[in-house]
Structure 1
Amino acid sequence: MSGKRFEGYERFEFRRDGRILTATIAAPGPVNGVDALLHEELARVFTDLQQDPDSDLIILTGKGRAFCAGGDFDWFKEQIADPATFRAIGWDAKRIVTSLLDVEKPVICRMNGAAAGLGATIALLCDIIVADEKAVIGDPHVKVGLVAGDGGAVIWPQLIGFARAKELLMTGDLLTAAKAAEIGLINHVVPGDQLDARVAEVAGKIMANPRWAVRWTKTLANMPLKALASQLMDASIGYEMMSNVTADRAEAVNAFIEKRPAKLTGE
Structure 2
Amino acid sequence: MDEPIDYRRYTQLGVELGGRIATVTLCSGARFNAVTWRMHHELGDVFGDLARDARVDVIVLTGAGDAFCAGADLRWLQGQLDDPPAPREARERGRAIVLGLLDCPKPIIARVNGDAIGLGATLALLCDIVVAVDGARFADPHVRIGLAAGDGGALIWPLLIGYARAKEFLLTGNKVAAPEAARMGLINHAVPAAELDATVQRFARQLAAGAPMAIQFTKAATHIPLRQAVESVLEASLALEGQTLRSHDAREGVAAFLEGREPRFRGR
Map of 2:208 onto structure 1 = 207
Residue correspondence of structure 1 range 124-135 to structure 2 within 5 A: 124-135=125-136
Secondary structure of 1:14 counterpart: strand
Secondary structure of 2:56 counterpart: coil
Residue correspondence of structure 1 range 186-197 to structure 2 within 5 A: 186-197=187-198
Secondary structure of 2:39 counterpart: helix
Map of 1:146 onto structure 2 = 147
Q: Would you say the 8 A contact 2:136–2:177 is kept in 1?
A: yes
Residue 188 of structure 2 aligns to which amino acid in structure 1?
N
Map of 2:47 onto structure 1 = 46
Deviations 1:93-135, CA, capped at 9 Å, x for gaps = 1111112100111100000111111111110000000001111
Distance in 1 (alpha carbons) for counterparts of 2:143 and 2:9:
34
Q: State the TM-score, normalizing by the size of structure 1.
A: 0.96
Distance in 2 (alpha carbons) for counterparts of 1:95 and 1:240:
16
Secondary structure of 1:213 counterpart: helix
Distance in 2 (alpha carbons) for counterparts of 1:63 and 1:86:
31
Q: Would you say the 8 A contact 1:138–1:174 is kept in 2?
A: yes
Secondary structure of 1:255 counterpart: helix
Secondary structure of 2:242 counterpart: helix
Deviations 1:134-185, CA, capped at 9 Å, x for gaps = 1111101111111101111111000000000011000001111111111110
Asked if 1:221 is matched to 2:228, the reply is: no
Count the aligned residue pairs. 266
Distance in 2 (alpha carbons) for counterparts of 1:261 and 1:23:
36
Distance in 2 (alpha carbons) for counterparts of 1:86 and 1:69:
24
Q: State the TM-score, normalizing by the size of structure 2.
A: 0.96
Q: CA deviation at 1:87?
A: 5.8
Map of 1:163 onto structure 2 = 164
Q: Tell me the percent identity.
A: 44
Deviations 1:2-44, CA, capped at 9 Å, x for gaps = 9443121111111122101111111112311111111111111
Distance in 1 (alpha carbons) for counterparts of 2:178 and 2:80:
31
Residue correspondence of structure 1 range 16-95 to structure 2 within 5 A: 16-84=17-85, 88-95=89-96
Q: Which runs of no fewer than 5 residues in structure 1 stay unpaired?
A: none
Q: CA deviation at 1:88?
A: 3.4
